[in-house]
Structure 1
Amino acid sequence: MTNPHQHATHPDLIKRLKRADGHLRHVIEMLEAEKPCADIATQLLAVERAITAAKRILIHDHIDHCLGHGSDGDIAELRALAKLL
């Protein structure tokens, strides 16, 4: 039996987040090597966008697969998730 919390998008999300983790480690190396701040900021923006995209995919997938049964709990959860977008 499969894990009910494992969705089809999770393997892709794991890959995306591992890639973002690698980029973040590179940012730390850039700081340690005293690289130019503009270059570091550019890389941080890339990390931020990658994480934001992963979060949106996760939330949209959750809405598509776990909500929609019409219960009051689903509506409250949807409102809480919307705040995270």
Structure 2
Amino acid sequence: MELDPAGAELRSVLNRLRRAQGQIAGVIRMIEEGRDCEEVVTQLAAASRALDRAGFAIIATGLQQCLVAADDGGEAQADREQLRARLEKLFLSLA
């Protein structure tokens, strides 16, 4: 299952990941500056949530592609089951 970065869903994911990248850079700066622990943890939690949401969005996109392929008859039943199992494993890795 390959991702199409031109899709609207994945553009949104890329934006979310870029924001998380900026938040993580900010957390590093905050630690280097000796900022308050509560502020650092708050920013770190925000970055973590952004990464989780990006992961879930990627999995949702994969599920949507699976449903479209299943409707088109593009994949054999065994292939669909294998892909479903892989997506389930990915989903659980984020949970």
Q: TM-score range by the shorter chain?
A: 0.7 to 0.9
Tell which has more relative contact order, 1 or 2 (C-alpha 8 A, sep 6+): 1
Aligned length: 81
**Structure (1/2) with the larger helix percentage:** 2
Percent identity between matched residues is 28
| Structure 2 residue runs without a partner (length 5+) | 71-76
Which stretches of structure 1, 4 residues or more, deviate above 3 A after TM superposition?
A: none
Alpha-carbon distance in structure 2 between the residues aligned to 1:79 and 1:22: 29
Residues 60-75 of structure 1: matches in 2 within 5 Å? 60-65=60-65, 67-68=66-67, 69=70, 70=77, 71-75=80-84
- Aligned position for 1:5: 3
Alpha-carbon distance in structure 1 between the residues aligned to 2:88 and 2:53: 19
- Aligned position for 1:22: 22
The RMSD of aligned alpha carbons is 1.7
CA separation of 1:82/1:14 partners in 2, compared to 1, >3 Å: closer, same or farther?
A: closer
| Structure 1 residue runs without a partner (length 5+) | none
